[in-house]
Structure 1
Amino acid sequence: MKHLLTLLLFFPILSSALTVTSLNVEWYGRGGRINGDSSQEFRDREIVQFLTSEIPVSDVYVFQEITDPVRLASLFPALNCSTYEVESQSHQFVVICAKEDIVESFDAEFEVQLGRGGLRPAMILNLKEKSTSQAISIVGLHLKAGTRETQTRLNQIEKLANSLKISKKSLIIGDFNTFPFDVTGNWKDDHELMEDILSPVGYQHIENRVATFLGRFPKTLDRAFSRGLEIQSLRVYGPCQKGSVQTPYQNERFYNRNISDHCAVQVKL
């Protein structure tokens, strides 16, 4: 693996007053099943309800595991959604949606190819936030899954790091599919190995100790890295945030069936 030139970059920390939410919607467009189809997708109403009333409304949404981007975009007519083109009918798209009234320009057509063989590209939304006129990039991604695929994920992160403009303030967010060292057999956790690649170009991992993936063995698969931005908070929404169940979306069984096996991650900038 090629090594990045070690260069410490220092950015002025600025507040941009933006909220970004990431959500992996398990096999959206197929009812949450790898072998499902569009007729079996029943979660539309609950997904909209969860994102618009259960958690604070966001300026930008980064979705992963979307097999029907057109249908997803139709759920949020007030948002401008964009993705890339792939011929495979089983591809899990990364989709970025944003409120048009909070940006002066919207350019999500630029994608970074993170490998071949079905690996998903990263989507980049370049925007200028109206209240501060700051130029910011929101990078959405969904890295290779699997406990034995750490090196593939690191290769993807290195390609991304080599592609991003060093001078630009940005947030990388999405499903990183990170696993701890005692699962992969490596000497560091996956997210720490990724930080070793991203930190020389100015990125810092946004700490999160809450699991983001449901199941018998909860995991923190969804993460965020920032460069030159003041992070007000990172919160996980859904049943991953353990506590008293006050709404159906905090019930693991209900949420897993009607939303996803991933919880939502929201970052306030």
Structure 2
Amino acid sequence: MADQGASSKASKKRQKRDKQSIVAALRNVGNRGICIGGSNNFGPSQSVSSQGPSEETSQETPNSSPKEKKYKKTRGPTTCKTMGQDGEKTNVYFNERGQPIDQGSEKLSSYLGMIGRQMVPITYDDWRDVKGVRKDLIWEAIKQKFTLDEQRKAYCMRTVGRLWRSYKTRLRGIIDCCKSNAMVLEKKTKKIDPKDWKIFIKGKSSPRFVAKSKKFKIMRSKQVLPYTASRKEYARVENDMKKISDNPSSIVRVDIWTKAHTKVNGEPSNEEVAKNL
């Protein structure tokens, strides 16, 4: 009985600290805005490459030598320092499929990534475990900066979850690049709690996760159709194409896919893409 009482008290203390951290994060994001670029908090950009559209891109460029890796310099995480400082909310326009496009869409996606990093601890194993008051406060933080109807909540929550997972993947890349536990501990960024970082390292170094990670790396290696539209999702690619087209209604899914898989000069991104055109 004594053990159960102690466990209950510890649980209540954790819940109290958790709620306090959420409220603190909500106050913190209240004065933030968009600032694309800046220094990379991870030092040399350690990340896992992606084969599809991503709002938080950071590509790892391995050296030809298997003993040493080199990384190309990429933009750092969005910090949102200038958006909404005048108290005005940003309008976001959506297409008929409920996808953000045009004015405000890039700011929204950047802000959603930042909110996920600040308000969702990396100690969560799965986004589906994030529930209740935390998600409600995330939504309130988003509405502080953007004019959004309640029907947009589902999209915003999905996007926060996706970008939060991408963020954890980049953190996992840091662990992969370190040769010792001491190096991993040194790579902790200032914005991550030391206790959370140790829990994260332990979880991502477990045999179960390593096996799962290996499986997905093999799956990614089989993806040979690189996405070339950077941070733009297909909806924004489509919208940009229709803006400059003399006949917007003529643009179909094949045209959008082609645009998102070709270089700036119009050439296919690789031979596999060329075969599919």
Give the alignment's TM-score, normalised by structure 1. Answer: 0.24
Report which of the two has the higher share of helix: 2
TM-score norm. by structure 2 comes to 0.23
